[in-house]
């Protein structure tokens, strides 16, 4: 069904909770990614020495992934589709780094767990599902640009 106003509000509210402690949540996010995909250490330039939450590049990339997912939720509610602004170059970066479909699942699980941690007792299935739907639509747009 259509992405609802409530789903958009759930994503927006928890995006604020994520951003309120960005270095910490970025650390949780990359720690989860490395647990599931240790090889990602060699893919991200900023993970070579492990998860350093003071590294501005690490914070910037984490913020981008969550921010674009949040943007995707806003677009889904407004237009029913997700258009990624610089899709060709974003697709090219990921192809060049050796990103494959399975990595998108690893990142999704890490994103959902990070949102769970960031929202605490406000977390519920509906909130998690809203993030998942937005992330899946965004991922599909990036994967399309990669192919």
Closest CA to 90 of 112, 50, 114, 61: 61
Among 11, 28, 34, 99, binds ligand HEM (CB under 6 A): 99
* Sites for ligand HEM among residues 61-80 (CB under 6 A): 61, 64-65, 68
Among 9, 43, 87, 140, binds ligand HEM (CB under 6 A): 43
Regarding 59 and contact with ligand HEM (CB under 6 A), the answer is no
Q: Which position has the token pair 């965004």?
A: 138
Asked if 72 and 11 count as a contact pair (C-beta separation under 8 A), the reply is no
Helices (H), the chain: 5-20, 22-36, 40-43, 56-79, 87-96, 101-119, 125-146
Which one of 18-26, 73-81, 94-102, 116-124 is the stretch in contact with ligand HEM (CB under 6 A)? 94-102
Extract the tokens encoding 145.
């640009």
User: Which is nearer to ligand HEM, 88 or 122 (by Cβ)?
Assistant: 88
Summarize as ranges the residues that interact with ligand HEM (CB under 6 A): 40, 43-46, 57, 61, 64-65, 68, 90, 93-94, 97, 99, 103-104, 107, 135, 138-139, 142
């Amino acid at each position: 069904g259509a992405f609802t106003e409530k789903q958009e509000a759930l994503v927006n509210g928890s995006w604020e909770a994520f951003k309120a402690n960005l270095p910490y949540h970025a650390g949780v996010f990359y720690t989860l990614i490395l647990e599931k995909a240790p090889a990602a250490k060699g893919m991200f330039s900023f993970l070579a020495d492990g998860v350093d939450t003071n590294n501005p590049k690490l914070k910037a990339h984490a913020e981008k992934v969550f921010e674009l997912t949040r943007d995707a939720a806003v677009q889904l509610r407004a237009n029913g589709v997700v258009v990624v602004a610089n899709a060709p170059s974003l697709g090219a970066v990921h192809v060049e780094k050796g990103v494959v479909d399975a990595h998108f699942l690893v990142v999704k699980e890490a994103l959902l767990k990070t949102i769970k941690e960031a929202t605490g007792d406000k977390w519920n299935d509906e909130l998690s599902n809203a993030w998942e739907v937005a992330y899946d639509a965004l991922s599909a747009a990036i994967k399309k640009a990669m192919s």
